[in-house]
Amino acid sequence: MCGIIGVFGPTSASQEVFRGLLTLQHRGQDAAGILSYDFLSSRFHLVKNKGLVSEVFKQTEIEELPGTMSIGHTRYATVGKGELGDIQPFVANYPYGIGMCHNGNLVNYYEQTQELKNKKNCHPLTSSDLEVLLNHFAQGLAVTKEKEEELTFPALVRATQEVLANAQGGYSVIGIIAGEGMFAFRDPRGIRPLVLGKQGKEYCLASESVAFNFLGYEFVRDIKPGELIFIDKDGTLFQQELQKQTSKACMFEWIYFSSPESVLENKAVYAVRSMLGQGLAKKVEKLIAENKIKPDVVVAVPETGRIAALALAEASGLPYREALIKNRYVYRSFILNGQKNRENAVDVKLGPVVSEIKDKNILLVDDSIVRGTTSKRLVDLLKRAGAKEVYFASLCPPVRHPCFYGVDFPLEEELIASHHDETMVAKKIGADFVIYQDIENLNSILGPNLCLACLNGDYPVDASSALEFARKRKQHRLLES
What gap in Å lies between CA 112 and CA 272, rounded to an integer?
37
| Identified catalytic residue from 2, 101, 122, 403 | 2
Cα 135–182–156 angle (5° rounding)?
55
Query: Which 3 state secondary structure label does DSSP give 292?
Result: coil
Could you tell me which of 130, 159, 164, 158 has the C-alpha nearest to residue 244? Answer: 164
**Cβ(66)–Cβ(14) below 8 Å:** yes
What gap in Å lies between CA 2 and CA 167, rounded to an integer?
18
451 is catalytic: no
CA distances from 351 to 3, 69, 331, 354, 391 (A): 28, 43, 15, 9, 19
Could you tell me which of 46, 112, 53, 114 has the C-alpha nearest to residue 85? Answer: 46
Could you tell me which of 367, 376, 242 has the C-alpha nearest to residue 301? Answer: 367
DSSP 333-356: STTSSSHHHHHHHHHHHEEE-HHH
The b/e string for 7-30 (b: 16+ C-beta within 10 A; e otherwise) is bbbbebbbbbbbbbbbbbbbbbbb
Active-site residue set? 2
